[in-house]
Amino acid sequence: MNDDTLLKSIKKALSDLEERGDIVLCSKVPDNPAKHVYDVVRTLVPSEELTLSELSGLRSLVFQAIGDEQFFDWEMPTLTGFKAEEFKEIAEKLPQG
């Protein structure tokens, strides 16, 4: 999904909600509320290009890396900025396959 697809999806969702009577958009330019929601969502979504399967693969890769002391050695926190425990917390946020 690219940025344009996300913005179009948000616009459609807002229009659908308005048609159902669930919300009332009070804007002279209907795109403005959709753009605001889009901007907020973009701060939370790392990349629309990554699929759930790919994110799940990254999760597995991180757990594999931090479990291998030869790979994740004393230098890895210097190289990456994160300790193994921090990578574990990050990986746990990623979806499971």
- Domain identity same for 31 and 62: no
**Residue range of the domain that includes 59:** 52-93
| Residue 65 pLDDT class (50, 70, 90 cuts) | very high
Asked if residue 56 lies in contact with residue 94, where contact means CB atoms within 8 angstroms, the answer is: yes
Check whether 26 has a pLDDT greater than 60: yes
Percent with pLDDT over 90 in the chain? 51
pLDDT of 60 reads 96
pTM for the predicted model, two decimal places: 0.60
How many domains would you assign to the chain? 2
Rounded Cα gap, residues 41 and 22, in angstroms: 21
Report, as an integer, the average pLDDT of 54-70. Answer: 94
Do 10 and 34 reside in the same domain of the chain? yes
